[in-house]
Each structure stands twice: as C-alpha cells, then as structure tokens.
Structure 1
Amino acid sequence: MRTILITGPGGSGRTTVAAATALSAATNGTRTLVLSADRTDTLGAALGVTTGATPTQVTATLTAWRPDATRGFREDLAGFQERATAALDLLGASRLDPEEVTPLPGAEELALLRALRDAALAEAHDLLVVDLPATPHALALLSLPEELRRYLRRLLPPERQAARALRPVLGRLAGVPMPAEWLYETAARWDVELAAVEAVVADRDTVVRLVAEPGPGGADAVRSATLALALRGLRPDLLIANRVLPEAEATAGSWLAGPVAQQRKVLEEWGDEYDIRRVAHLGRDPRGVEDLAALAVPAVNDTSSTVEWPVTDRLADDGVLVWHLPLPGAARDELDLFRRGDELVVTAGQFRRIVPLPSALRRCAVDGAALRDGELRIRFAPDPALWPRTP
C-alpha cells in the first residue's frame, strides 16, 4: 500500500489538499483511505460529509476516517490500571473512572499514529492519504516512534527482558524489588506497535508532500520543513503551491499586482529546488467533491525518487571513511555534531536527531566534518585497536 503524508504550515490548506489528493486517486479507481486527526471536522467539511470515529464512505472508492482520540485514551487508561493493579493497591491509589477523564494534549496525534498502523496492517486500501498536523507538530509526530523505542530500549534493555525466569531469584539475591512482569510485557507490546508505525513511515512507498502558499511566510516554512525532513531521512516528492492567484487579472494598478509579483518570485525559487504543482485559488473555500475536483491536485508523482539516508559510506583516498548526510538548506553556523557512544547526535537549527552508527563506524573515531552543497560529510578514522590487523 502506498502512503502519502501531507503537511505544511498552519493555514496553508493542507487538509483541503489532502482531501483533493484522496479524491483524485479514488476517481481513478484507486481504493483510498484519507485520515485526519483534526478535532474539528475540517476534512469532512471539505469532502461534504461528516467524519468520525468510524470510517465514512464518501464514494465507492473513497473512505474518510477521523479516529476518536477520547475512546482510545480511555481504553488505554483502563488497560493500564488493570495491568498495574498490584502497584496501585500497594500505593493506595484510587482508580480513575475512564468516563471521568479527558484526553491529554497529543492524544489526537497518538490516535492518528495508531490508525496509520491499523490501516497499513489491514491492507484494505491501495492508497493511504494522511492529513498530518502543521509542520512542526507533524515532524515531532513522525519522529515519535523512533524516539520512544529508543527510550524503551534504554530504560528496559532487551537483554534484561530475556531473563524473565531469573527475576524472582535475582530479586532475592540482590535484596531489591525487580520490575513487575506487566511492565516488561507492556514495554514489549509498545515496542511492537511503535515498530509497526515506524515501518510505515520508513517504507519506500511512503512519501511526504508539502503544502504552502507561495509567499515570504510560505518560503520560510518550506525551507525549514525541508531541512527537518532531511534530518529524518525524508524528502518531499511534491511541493503543492496552494491558492495561486491568477496572473491574468493582475493588471497594472490592480491590488493583485503586488501579491502576484511576490508569488511569481517565490514560485521561480521553488522551481529550482522542488517538483512543484500549482493549485489555483478558487476565490472561495473549497467545499464538496466538485470544488475538490476543480483543484486538480495530483495523486501520483511518477517522477519522484527515493533518497537513502544517510548515504552509504564511501572510502576516501586517504583511507578515512566518509559518511554523507543530506541536509539541504542547512546553515553552517546552525549545525552541531557530537558522538555519544555508538550514536551520533546531529542538530540542525531547531531540529535534532540521534542517529545510530553502522557497525563499521563504531570502530572509528570522528576525524572532522564539513558542510558542502547541502550535504554534511563526516570523516571517520579507523581505530587501530578495534580493527583487525592485516598480515
């Protein structure tokens, strides 16, 4: 199943574009599911239907779904309290009635991740279109599975989980309480669920599509989003220039002349770096399938290409291994890089990622780094004490 993740700055019309993308694919006979985590039913308003906790059939080949974060949060809370019964009783804690709680901030995004995983595993559709939150929140959401799995591995290493049968004995010998069985079972279940979401995001059939209005604010947002996506190993397959004003009506002295000249400059700049699709301004907020069809948003981009990140290690002439990390738009003075154990911590502006090193580079020492042509090149010198000697 192919997946299109759609995001952009707030107010750029990303939900409308997601709905139009899904409709375009469904019109061509592709079984399509479009997901959204918006609390207000913006997706349903664009499609001319009401979406909710259960999937809504819009057309014969198009389904819309807005997962219910409240129900999922309450079910998770009830399950947690059931598994932690002994610990809660020991602490004298009062149980929470699931009906009395409201979802915490971020519950909608977590519900969206779960729906993304469930839809991918069900394989009931050929295309999944995901209306992600605004770019900063979307980037945090896409990185969440990887980060949470990393935290789980640090807090509850797999090698400790493997010795479950020895825990009672170890507890008596050490004289300290050992983690309860439910804790390890919960961690293992979370790891499986997060790995499934991470697999969907990292799949070669998953692409990210940016939506922005061609103006100064949109240009800054696209530049920042491109760098952040690159740090996650992602690159937009298309840049949707939304609400493009008609140049034919921008006559001299018209109020449209200034905005049109401004958007023309931004579109020219984008054309040098991105595969752009222009979506005309309809003069109104698109509502219903007829308006969405009029936007003519493409569902498939046959010219898109995947990018491996980081680029495979290459051996320099002096015998030093060089690691190539594509970071388009990165500024030298906003880059920070340091090694911690078998991981490399890369910071680009306000974005950061902790990258595990390949086995070969773990036996090397960092020998320098340079930013050239939108690519961070890190030199690794082999450590003689860790590399086998040649006769």
Structure 2
Amino acid sequence: HQAVATLALPAQLRRYLARLLPAERQAARALRPVLAQLAGVPMPAQWLYEAAARWDEELAAVQAVVEAATTSLHVVAEPGPGADAALRTGLLGLALEQLPVRAIVANRMVPQGSPDPWLAGLAAQQEKYAAQWAGAHGAGDAPVLPLGHLGRDPSGPDDLTRLTGAAGLVPPPSGDSRARGEWVVEDRLADDGVLVWVVPLPGARKQDLDLVRRGDELLLAAGPYRRIVPLPSALRRCTVSGAALADGVLRIRFAPDPDLWPRRG
C-alpha cells in the first residue's frame, strides 16, 4: 500500500500546490496592498508563489519518471496465502494509477523435491500460488518470475549479483516497455444518449469501488486507494448517470447536461 501511495505522491502534491497557491492568483506587486485591504486578509507573499513554482517543477520531474514509457515496474511478493490478498490489492492500486506492471517476482522460492516434508509442502504451496498469479489479479500478460531462496538473507554484492542473474528480472537495454493504461471515452450518444468513460481496473470487485463527481474532477476509490482525476473536456459538460463493473472494466456513464451541451440546428 505504501509503495503505491509513494508512486502516486508527486502528482498528488502538485495538485495540492495548485489548489493552495494557484498561479493565476498572483497579483502585481503594486496591487497586492490594495487587494489585501479589499479581501480583509493578507495576500500570500511573492516568495511563497516562487517556492511553490520551484517545488512544482521538481515534483513534475519525478512524476515524469514515474509515468515514463521506459519505466519498468516489478511487483515482488513471496507466494503464499498472505501475499495473495496483498498482491491483488496492490495491483488494483497500480491499475488505478495507470501504472503498467512488467513482471511479478515470486520471491524466496524454495527448491522442489526436498525429502523434508515441511520443505516439500512449502515448495508445493509456493508453486501453487505462483501459478495462480500468472495472468490473474489484473496483472494481464505480465510474467511471473521465480526468484530462488538463498537460504539466508541477501548480504553483499555477490548475493545481489546472484539474484539479479535470474532470467527476465533485469529488463534489457532496449526497454521492452509496457504502455500506460489509457482511459478512453466512448461516444454512445447516437445509440444510448450517453458518453462512457472506460476505466480498466483488473481484479476490482464492486464492493471495492466508489466514485464521486466534484466539479470538473472525479474522485475514484478502489480498495484503500484514492485518486482524483480531471474529467476530459467533453465529460465536464455532462452529469454522471451511472456506472457498472464487468470483466475488470469500470464503465462510467455521462449524460449531456442540456444547459451546457451544444445545441444542434
């Protein structure tokens, strides 16, 4: 949960800065005392706007790295019943943030064929869950990469070199990137009189989801995760008329607002 929240943090902080200190509210130095007197409250100092602009620039650079097509995302989990639920929730959060998963790393896999009954049972359980993760929980076609147990905690460069030598764990220099998930707007005006915003949320369940329209933004909740997204321009002139979840895709229906929608003829 914390890892997904950290990846989403740059965009969230930029939105908070824009609301707290909108750039368009900056006033000329000569007008600031007059505006402060009219408003009855002190106007934010110019240095505060300058600091906010600098922070926004730095956060934008971090956000660009997170959302870049060349950024690879690996999800690491130790196969088992405890990690199974956490993996489903984490992948749902990544889908909400439109961050593609390149691979799932099945960590600390013990070798099969052990004569010890306890180790043999653990190996069988790990293999079972690793097999279930392939194509499940909304990971799409992301492969499951087994990473063997060293028999101890990794320590030093030699152990790290041995771990990174696992097939497929380190992406090739060419990138082999995965496209960022797109939320498209389907035009169903002619047939159903609505526009449909298609939001892929693989692995989501109806009880996990909630959404609230707030002005020109949509607050979408998926499990423990929350995201505020700006509405596409066409949907800003509509009202939310319903939503449905099917096959891991949330379809949000928007009906044109007669007072805002262009009239024909």
Same fold per TM (> 0.5)? yes
**Cα 1:255–1:348 shift into 2, 3 Å:** same
Tell me which of 72, 75, 92 is aligned to 1:210: 75
Give 1:173 deviation, angstroms: 4.4
Identify the residue that residue 227 of structure 1 maps to in structure 2: 92
**Cα 1:165–1:328 shift into 2, 3 Å:** farther
Give 1:168 deviation, angstroms: 2.7
Identify the residue that residue 240 of structure 1 maps to in structure 2: 105
Q: Deviations over 1:203-240 (max 9, x none)?
A: 11112211111111121221111011111111211101
Tell me which of 200, 224, 228 is aligned to 1:350: 224
Distance, in Å, in 1 between the alignment partners of 2:58 and 2:176 is 32
**Pairing 1:245-284 to 2, within 5 Å after superposition:** 245-249=110-114, 251=115, 254-273=117-136, 274-284=142-152
Distance, in Å, in 1 between the alignment partners of 2:96 and 2:85 is 17
Tell me which of 202, 205, 214 is aligned to 1:331: 205
TM-score, length basis structure 1: 0.61
Identify the residue that residue 179 of structure 1 maps to in structure 2: 44
The letter for the 1-side match of 2:151 is G
The letter for the 1-side match of 2:178 is S
Tell me which of 146, 159, 170 is aligned to 1:299: 170
1:193 aligns with 2:68: no
Give 1:198 deviation, angstroms: 1.3
**Cα 1:153–1:379 shift into 2, 3 Å:** same
1:285 aligns with 2:159: no
Q: Deviations over 1:308-362 (max 9, x none)?
A: 23x2211123241111111122110121111010010111121111111111110
Identify the residue that residue 255 of structure 2 maps to in structure 1: 381
> Does the 8 Å contact 1:226/1:235 carry over to 2?
no
Identify the residue that residue 24 of structure 2 maps to in structure 1: 159
**Cα 1:318–1:164 shift into 2, 3 Å:** farther
* Structure 1: runs of 5+ lacking an equivalent: 1-135
Secondary structure at 2:212 match in 1: strand
Distance, in Å, in 1 between the alignment partners of 2:177 and 2:153 is 29
Distance, in Å, in 2 between the alignment partners of 1:165 and 1:188 is 21
Distance, in Å, in 2 between the alignment partners of 1:245 and 1:164 is 68
**RMSD between aligned alpha carbons?**
1.9
> Does the 8 Å contact 2:184/2:199 carry over to 1?
no
The letter for the 2-side match of 1:300 is P
Corresponding residue pairs, total: 253
Percent of residue pairs identical: 58
> Does the 8 Å contact 1:229/1:235 carry over to 2?
yes
Give 1:282 deviation, angstroms: 1.9
The letter for the 1-side match of 2:88 is R
Give 1:175 deviation, angstroms: 4.9
Give 1:289 deviation, angstroms: 3.2
**Pairing 1:24-63 to 2, within 5 Å after superposition:** none
Identify the residue that residue 106 of structure 1 maps to in structure 2: none
> Does the 8 Å contact 2:70/2:177 carry over to 1?
no
**Cα 1:177–1:219 shift into 2, 3 Å:** same
**Bigger RCO of structures 1 and 2 (CA < 8 A, at least 6 apart):** 1
Distance, in Å, in 2 between the alignment partners of 1:151 and 1:356 is 13
**Cα 1:304–1:180 shift into 2, 3 Å:** closer
Give 1:257 deviation, angstroms: 2.1
Poorly superposed stretches of 4+, deviation over 3 Å: 162-165, 172-176, 301-304
Identify the residue that residue 139 of structure 2 maps to in structure 1: none
Distance, in Å, in 2 between the alignment partners of 1:378 and 1:168 is 47
Secondary structure at 2:117 match in 1: coil
Identify the residue that residue 3 of structure 2 maps to in structure 1: 138
* Structure 2: runs of 5+ lacking an equivalent: 137-141
Q: Deviations over 1:16-45 (max 9, x none)?
A: xxxxxxxxxxxxxxxxxxxxxxxxxxxxxx
Distance, in Å, in 2 between the alignment partners of 1:196 and 1:158 is 19
